Amino acid sequence: MKDSSDVLVTAYIGLGSNLDNPVAQIKSARAAIALLEGVSELTFSSLYHSLPMGPQDQPDYINAALSVETYLTPIALLRSLQAIETIQGRVRKDERWGARTLDLDILLYGDEEIDVPDLMVPHTGISERSFVLYPLFEIAPQLIIPGKGIIADLVAKCPLDGLKQMV
């Protein structure tokens, strides 16, 4: 399987952390993504403070969104992001929505809809999660999310649920 193609694609990545200095984790992940071969940063959102999804007995999250141009295939990009998560101390557990040092998700990959065992794009829940929608809307207010609609319409229907943009 090829890791890259001749086609340059705009992809959107969601970043989240709630362990081991989350702001530093997000900044470090951004720097690591910038060093990936075949990936160039376009825009980066503000940082957002959000309440945890799932179990509430964990620290609050810091979230952001990043747009990149890439020649990497979706799976190659996913594997690269997972390697960054591991380097930054993420331990994968069976627990869903648990605390983590770093969570990097491919939110969108061009206008593709992908549904394979390791990757679903647009990302599951993208249209209902304030901590994904608001940072994404900040960097791409005209975005159309395949199969979901116009981001401005989705944001208008999505309550903040405690989300706060950090200064």
Active-site annotation, residues: 90, 100, 103, 105
Alpha helices in the chain (DSSP H): 22-34, 74-87, 130-139, 151-156
Query: DSSP 3-state helix, strand, coil percentages of the chain (rounded to 5)?
Result: 25, 30, 40
Encoded tokens for 130:
């304030």
